Amino acid sequence: MAKMNSRMNNEPQGQNINLISSGTKITGDIVAEGDIRIDGELKGNVNAKGRLVVGASGKIEGEIVCNNIEISGQVKGKIGAKELLSMKSSSKISGEIITGKLSVEPGSVFTGTCTMGNQADEPAKIK
């Protein structure tokens, strides 16, 4: 038992997953070392070192800075994805996107501006 507990306590910070469930509404900023999944509503900014997933029922109004982002829900504001932003067919985005790579499924809706490639190396500077 002691071995298992010590292994669990030594997990790297990047393995943490934070979940905001459907029906939950948050007003404020989120800063996380690990991954985040949002199926509820957030009015505020997200800054995560890991991956952000916005589920089909998820809504974010604010600024997002992450390494990788997968959006199935709605986002209104600035998005900075250092590596990849993936827009699923049910996604609706309104605002500014700065990303290394962009994946767009048919059916997704985007209104705003997008900067990709080398110019997107520092998404934290979008403020």
Condensed to tens digits (0 to 9), the pLDDT of residues 70-94 reads 999 999 999 999 999 999 999 999 9
Is the separation of the CB atoms in 109 and 74 below 8 Å? no
- Per-residue confidence (pLDDT) for residue 11, from 0 to 100: 44
Is the pLDDT assigned to residue 27 strictly greater than 80? yes
Is the pLDDT assigned to residue 127 strictly greater than 60? no
State the Cα–Cα distance between residues 117 and 55, nearest whole angstrom: 26
In angstroms, the first-to-last Cα distance of the chain is: 47
Mean pLDDT (whole number) for 21-39: 94
The proportion of the chain whose per-residue pLDDT surpasses 70, expressed as a percent, equals 81
**Torsion angle, alpha carbons of 98, 58, 91, 16, to 10:** 50
- Per-residue confidence (pLDDT) for residue 54, from 0 to 100: 97
Is the pLDDT assigned to residue 123 strictly greater than 80? no
pTM: 0.80
Single-letter residue type at 38: I
Is the pLDDT assigned to residue 104 strictly greater than 50? yes
User: Vertex 25, ends 24 and 29: CA angle to 5°?
Assistant: 120
- Per-residue confidence (pLDDT) for residue 91, from 0 to 100: 97
Strand-pair partners of 106: none
